[in-house]
């Protein structure tokens, strides 16, 4: 017997037990509106129950997991996706992290739809997949381990465990907030190539810490997968992030005019659209909503 075979068998048994626990959770019908709670926590995985969903996190994302114990954490975005993603639609999660929003969308679009997650940090891939399958096992799922951008390329950036807020291609100058930094190499793929084709309603969520403009330009450019599809786009906006990535918020106003869209700020608690984004609001951060019910203008 190989020297490490016993240890390997123990690890495999442990993994099997965890998978069985997750399967048991997926078969449970929780009470809607119940308080968030940790249902599994060990050295390999943490699972948090949030209403009718179960979200799994690796040890490096413990801070992210515990954030969900606050009922209002990311509530606006979660509510918006649950309300406005459409059964049978295609949902694309660019900057998926652990896939919590992917999981919510997978439940909504269902077996006739599809979810696509895009995340450059390879270690998070198994958890994105687990969250999708755990919450919507019949919904088709696709994972791309890469960054989305305007064109093909390569990029390297630092990852800070226990503080995913600064794990980004365009990292913050103050990296003292994070722990256990490491550098990863990632492929960059055109955002338009990551969107499923078809006539299905399209919902695209973008969280790219300033790289939103290159992604939006790709989606609105030549041979866009949006076409005439009913499309909803939501993305995180902050002037600081835009300028750190070399973009000017005025570029966003120009692009919105080009595609015939209006961006509105999302209420952080209700998810409802509120004030319009424009030159007078450049300093105001928040999640922006763009609705294109008839797709892109035909040129």
> Does the pLDDT of residue 299 top 80, yes or no?
no
| CA distance linking residue 254 with residue 248, whole number of Å | 10
- Report the pLDDT value the prediction gives residue 28, as an integer from 0 to 100: 45
> Does the pLDDT of residue 12 top 60, yes or no?
yes
Sign for the CA dihedral angle at 161, 163, 169, 175 comes to negative
Residues recorded for the chain: 299
pLDDT tens-digit map of 189-237: 999 999 999 999 999 999 988 889 999 999 998 899 999 999 999 999 9
- Going by DSSP bridges, is the β-strand pair 141-144/114-118 parallel, antiparallel, or unpaired? parallel
Tokens 């003292």 correspond to: 176
* Residues contacting residue 215 through CB under 8 Å, at least 6 positions apart: 94, 148, 149, 150, 191, 206, 208, 235
The residue among 1, 43, 26 whose CA lies nearest residue 133 is: 26
Other C-beta atoms closer than 10 Å to the C-beta of 52 total 16
> Does the pLDDT of residue 33 top 60, yes or no?
no
Q: Where are the domains of the chain?
A: 1-73, 74-149+194-292
DSSP string over 72-128: TTTHHHHHHHHHHS-TT-EEEEES-TT-HHHHHHHHHH-TTSEEEEE-S-GGGHHHH
| CA distance linking residue 61 with residue 233, whole number of Å | 26
Least trusted range by pLDDT, from 39-43, 182-186, 248-252: 182-186
> Does the pLDDT of residue 1 top 50, yes or no?
no
Q: Share the mean pLDDT of the chain.
A: 86
| CA distance linking residue 204 with residue 127, whole number of Å | 20
Least trusted range by pLDDT, from 41-45, 139-143, 179-183, 236-240: 179-183
pLDDT tens-digit map of 51-109: 889 999 998 888 889 889 998 999 999 999 999 999 999 999 999 999 999 999 999 99
> Does the pLDDT of residue 255 top 90, yes or no?
yes
**Contact, 98 vs 92, CB < 8 A?**
no
74-149+194-292: CATH superfamily: Vaccinia Virus protein VP39 (3.40.50.150)
Q: What is the mean pLDDT of residues 266-285?
A: 96
- By the 10 Å C-beta count (0-12 exposed, 13-18 middle, 19+ buried), 182 is classed as exposed
pLDDT tier at 30, thresholds 50, 70, 90: very low
pLDDT tens-digit map of 158-197: 777 655 544 455 444 455 555 667 788 999 999 999 999 9
DSSP string over 221-266: STT-S-TTS-EEEEEEE-HHHHHHTT--HHHHHHHHHHHT--EEEE
- Report the pLDDT value the prediction gives residue 94, as an integer from 0 to 100: 97
């Amino acid at each position: 017997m190989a020297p490490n075979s016993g240890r390997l068998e123990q690890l495999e048994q442990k993994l099997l037990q965890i998978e069985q626990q997750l399967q048991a959770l997926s078969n449970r019908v929780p009470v809607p509106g119940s308080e968030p709670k940790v249902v599994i926590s060990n050295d390999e995985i943490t699972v948090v129950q949030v209403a009718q969903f179960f979200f799994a996190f690796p040890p490096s994302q413990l801070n992210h997991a515990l954030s969900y114990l606050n009922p209002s954490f990311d509530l606006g975005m979660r509510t918006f996706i649950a309300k406005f993603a459409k059964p049978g639609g295609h949902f694309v999660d660019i900057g998926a992290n652990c896939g919590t929003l992917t999981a919510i969308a997978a439940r909504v679009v269902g077996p006739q739809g599809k979810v696509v997650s895009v995340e450059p940090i390879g270690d998070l891939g198994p958890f994105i997949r687990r969250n999708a399958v755990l919450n919507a096992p019949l919904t088709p799922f696709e994972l791309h381990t890469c960054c989305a951008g305007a064109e093909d390329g390569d990029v390297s950036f630092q990852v800070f465990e226990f503080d995913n807020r600064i794990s980004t291609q365009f990292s913050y100058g103050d990296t003292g907030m994070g722990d256990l930094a490491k550098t990863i190499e990632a492929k960059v793929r055109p955002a338009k190539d990551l969107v499923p084709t078809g006539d299905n309603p399209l919902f695209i969520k973008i969280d790219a810490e300033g790289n939103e403009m290159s992604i939006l330009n790709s989606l609105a450019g030549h041979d866009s997968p949006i076409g005439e599809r009913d499309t909803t786009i939501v993305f995180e906006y902050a002037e600081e992030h835009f300028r750190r990535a070399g973009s000017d918020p005025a570029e966003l106003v120009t692009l919105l005019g080009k595609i015939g869209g209006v961006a509105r700020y999302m209420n952080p608690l209700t998810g409802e659209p509120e004030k319009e984004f424009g030159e007078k609001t450049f300093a105001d951060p928040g999640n922006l909503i763009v609705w294109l019910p008839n797709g892109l203008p035909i040129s």
